[in-house]
Chain A
Amino acid sequence: MEHYNMNLTLKVWRQKNKNDQGRFETLQAKNISSEMSFLEMFDVVNEELINEGKEPIAFDHDCREGICGMCSMHINGRAHGPWEGTTTCQLHMRAFKDGDTIVVEPWRAGAFPVLKDLTVDRSAFDRIIEAGGYVSVNTGNAQDANNIPVEKHKADLAFAAAACIGCGACVAACKNSSAMLFVSAKVSQLALLPQGHPERRTRALNMVAQMDKEGFGSCTNTGACEAECPKEISLTNIARLNREFINAGFTSEK
């Protein structure tokens, strides 16, 4: 792989806090190696800002290996930037070339208020899980793990849905700011496994109700969520959620 260095122009969203109006700031990123990750490029820019006595850019990040779901940058109009199936932290600078201008914004959604610069509040996702994204089994209640065989195909589908990292890119990518892909991933995982069956109806109803309450929009099947999802969560999960939801509504005994 050929290594190269580049100079870039960044247009970054700066916003002091929730109440500030915010604006774009233009910055220069000099001598950036193609081997750096996108966030390492931000480290370099921040180091420079600190040395100049300015405030560094606040952004969320933690594991830097694409699994914790904390990083969340909207890069050149795309959630997590130009690479498919990739989180911001795994995007590397070889995706860009010398002289490029890169526009970086926070997730834009009413349900994800900006806290500072590129950092947003995603606690709405936790509250959706609280509404039913679990199996009600207390510690110590479990039977032997191999007592219930699970068809491999279904286990694999459940795993694919469970790979969601809760980053919120689906919401950021959606013109309606819908959280359907996130909700459907959890509902699907538990609907596909026998362990999730006793609560599948209430789960679908309650999680969708909470999603609406948090102010996420409706799904119009555009598919931007699937296209931008760093874990490539499939749109078929939304179809499954719709089935679960309708079925729960029709067959509710309450």
Chain B
Amino acid sequence: MLNAKIPAGPLNTKWENYKGHCKLVNPANKRNLEIIVIGTGLAGASAAASLGELGYKVKAFCFQDSPRRAHSIAAQGGINAAKNYQNDGDSVYRLFYDTVKGGDYRAREANVHRLAEVSGNIIDQCVAQGVPFAREYGGLLSNRSFGGTQVQRTFYAAGQTGQQLLLGAYSALERQVALGNVTMYSRHEMLDIVKIDGKARGIIARDLISGKLERHFGHAVLICSGGYGNVFYLSTNAMGSNVTAAWKATQNGAFFANPCFTQIHPTCIPVSGDHQSKLTLMSESLRNDGRIWVPKKKDDNRKASDIPEDERDYYLERRYPAFGNLVPRDVASRAAKERCDAGYGVGTSKQAVYLDFAAAIERYGTIEASKRQMHGVSKEEIIKLGKEVVAEKYGNLFDMYAKITGENPYETPMRIYPAVHYTMGGLWVDYELQTTVPGLYSLGEANFSDHGANRLGASALMQGLADGYFVIPYTIGNYLADEIRTKAIPTDHPAFAEAESKVRDRIAKLMSIKGTKSVDYFHKKLGKIMWDKCGMARNEQGLKEAIEEIKALRADFYKDVRIPGDANEFNPELEKAGRVADFLELGELMCIDALNRRESCGGHFREESQTEEGEAKRDDENFSYVAAWEYKGPSDYVLHKEELVFEEVKPTQRSYK
């Protein structure tokens, strides 16, 4: 049984107690302690900046050309915090409760409570950095609602909240670079962990421009490399998002937890053809104002505007009156799939539903007219005013939709369909964010910790920044306090040489295949298997098939992949090949995990386990645990369990009716 090292005492005092009793490192010693940070998204950048401020010697790595490009930049809707600025009944406890319930009771209570506790500090910190959150006329911060909650606790910057938060963390990071506390390695990819006496002591990285392999020592290594949604090929992730850093950690003994917990986001722009390289999210914040519907009639080919009000089925409002369009993502996605599978889908592919803003435009227009003391105005005038308000709230999203689809969403409803967006699973970490390898930590989406089987909207930004700004600066000291006698280990140590030659061999092996098919060919095939058999709905037979198909595909990849160019130069195809090779192992593990979890929970829907109304049916008696997988070799995994104990929140059948 895994020990999560959760501090004793009542839930709401655990973190206070921990902070009061954890070991500290004095400033003179911090200067001699080196920390490696992999990834510069919200988790990595905030951690690197905060640890640099404390005086540690930090090295940060990212594969992009600048740390500012990490995929956190693309987060749209907002960030949650229990500030209760709206006086609508929010509190730390409510945020904690909503998150545990939203995660379908598969998250660790102590971690989630800590997350809720520090959520307010994040907003304070970001505002102090100059993050331009949306404000009201009185000059104070504005909030909106997100799925799975009944309060307004989401802070935002139009549809670019992730961008603004990341640029805040990036600026803090660059300030530490200027001060010499952080050394930044852009266009570098971590390709292995170096372990000495069982502890993480460094990495092997490839300079992506020169192709040279480099050895870097660290007293501790932090994996902040994001999620693995790109295993599906088509997802809302950036093209470069990958699992490689986390997977190398797994191959070096870090357990991988709940790999099958994938978030399929309900509101994305539908696939338009075989050429599609990625999918684009339309922020959940749109569900504040957009109403989701399909025609009441099957195979209705009329234009949306020609379908009268009483022939429309607002199915979320119908099925879930308490939360309506703001049900959590897993629920909304399954409901969309259900309607489309039943033949009510819209658009040419029939794999889409409408997200309609007509009602919101009229409502906002009326409010605006009233605010401006305009009486007896025409409907056209009201709609014009309403469109202006909607543009201010969601303008960039509407523009993006128009560019991608060629349609004007102010005039016709958006067509949307679920797409892979986020992965709740990741490296198993204890309360201190340490993996099962001493000195190896994981933060943000790369770890598994806080979202259970389904993440609520606007909680990813919160978790990434909580881990980086407010958790790791404390918990890493508790480890490094015992490392102050460890001098920097020279990188000619045999463990570094061995790790480097392993990486060199792996690259040589890939380059030597000289097959006939591109990396993308294999990636697309893998994605299709995953989406069909380990996507929105899963069953035993499909998962068993998928495991065999992935094994065969992996064998074919190592026989027939073609990587042009040279290993000693800038070679994007080689980078992709390494990442897809890791996805080909991870994909199999995801199916193994999904097969093992014979219950439905959150985003993991096993068709064999559903209520009469088609909702996910948990099996708390047998599956109230975190599944942490130990890597023994390709296709060879050992399951370890962390029992989930609920002291505060009593697991019940989740209901949003």
A positions within 8 Å CB-CB of B: 1, 16-17, 33, 35-37, 39-40, 43-44, 47, 49-51, 53-56, 58, 60-70, 83, 85-86, 90-92, 94, 115-116, 119, 121-123, 125-126, 129-131, 133-146, 148-152, 155, 158-159, 162-163, 165-166, 189-190, 193, 195-196
Name the one of B64, B184, B564 contacting A55, with C-beta atoms under 8 angstroms.
Answer: B564
Whether B565 lies near A55 (C-beta < 8 A) is: yes
Interface digits, B179-195 against A, CB 8 Å rule (1 contact, 0 not)?
A: 00000101000000000
13 contacts between A and B (CB under 8 A): A1-B405, A39-B277, A47-B520, A62-B238, A63-B71, A65-B236, A116-B570, A137-B172, A142-B121, A142-B124, A146-B85, A152-B137, A163-B160
Docked Cα-Cα span, A190 to B175, in Å, equals 15
Whether A56 lies near B66 (C-beta < 8 A) is: no
Would you give the shortest CB distance from B657 to chain A, in whole angstroms? 34
Docked Cα-Cα span, A70 to B138, in Å, equals 37
Name the one of B74, B132, B172, B209 contacting A115, with C-beta atoms under 8 angstroms.
Answer: B209
Whether A35 lies near B49 (C-beta < 8 A) is: no
**Which residue of A has the minimal Cβ distance to B269?**
A65
> Given the interface contacts A64-B238, A135-B171, A193-B132, does A165 sit within 8 Å of B273 by beta carbon?
no
Whether A62 lies near B69 (C-beta < 8 A) is: yes
Q: Is B400 an interface residue (CB 8 A)?
A: yes
Interface size range on B against A: 35 or more
Chain B residue contacts of A65, Cβ below 8 A: 74, 236, 278, 280-281, 400
Identify the interface centre among B178, B400, B562: most chain A CB within 10 Å of its CB.
Answer: B178
Stretch from B8-16, B162-170, B317-325, B585-593 that touches the partner: B162-170
Whether A162 lies near B518 (C-beta < 8 A) is: no
Whether B129 lies near A134 (C-beta < 8 A) is: yes
> Given the interface contacts A33-B275, A37-B277, A138-B53, does A60 sit within 8 Å of B65 by beta carbon?
yes
Name the one of A47, A70, A86, A121 contacting B403, with C-beta atoms under 8 angstroms.
Answer: A86
Whether B240 lies near A137 (C-beta < 8 A) is: no
Docked Cα-Cα span, A148 to B138, in Å, equals 11
Docked Cα-Cα span, A62 to B71, in Å, equals 8
The number of A-B residue pairs with CB atoms under 8 Å apart is 221
Docked Cα-Cα span, A64 to B74, in Å, equals 10
Q: Is B494 an interface residue (CB 8 A)?
A: no
Would you give the shortest CB distance from A132 to chain B, in whole angstroms? 8
Would you give the shortest CB distance from B64 to chain A, in whole angstroms? 6
8 closest A-B pairs by CB: A149-B139, A134-B171, A142-B128, A1-B406, A142-B124, A159-B132, A130-B178, A145-B127
> Restricting to B393-417, which residues have a CB under 8 Å from any CB of A?
399-400, 403-407
Chain B residue contacts of A121, Cβ below 8 A: 65
Docked Cα-Cα span, A66 to B399, in Å, equals 11
Q: Is B7 an interface residue (CB 8 A)?
A: no
Whether B238 lies near A144 (C-beta < 8 A) is: no
Identify the interface centre among A68, A123, A158: most chain B CB within 10 Å of its CB.
Answer: A68
Q: Is B342 an interface residue (CB 8 A)?
A: no
Would you give the shortest CB distance from A64 to chain B, in whole angstroms? 5
Whether B170 lies near A129 (C-beta < 8 A) is: yes
**Which residue of A has the minimal Cβ distance to B63?**
A62
Beyond A63-B73, A133-B174, A145-B126: 19 further Cβ-contacts under 8 Å?
A35-B275, A40-B277, A51-B518, A62-B69, A67-B74, A68-B71, A70-B69, A94-B406, A116-B569, A126-B177, A130-B175, A134-B172, A139-B125, A142-B125, A149-B140, A150-B135, A159-B132, A159-B164, A195-B127
> Given the interface contacts A53-B564, A146-B140, does A47 sit within 8 Å of B135 by beta carbon?
no
Whether A125 lies near B125 (C-beta < 8 A) is: no
Docked Cα-Cα span, A145 to B130, in Å, equals 11
Docked Cα-Cα span, A209 to B241, in Å, equals 35
Would you give the shortest CB distance from B71 to chain A, in whole angstroms? 6
> Given the interface contacts A64-B278, A68-B238, A85-B399, does A145 sit within 8 Å of B123 by beta carbon?
yes
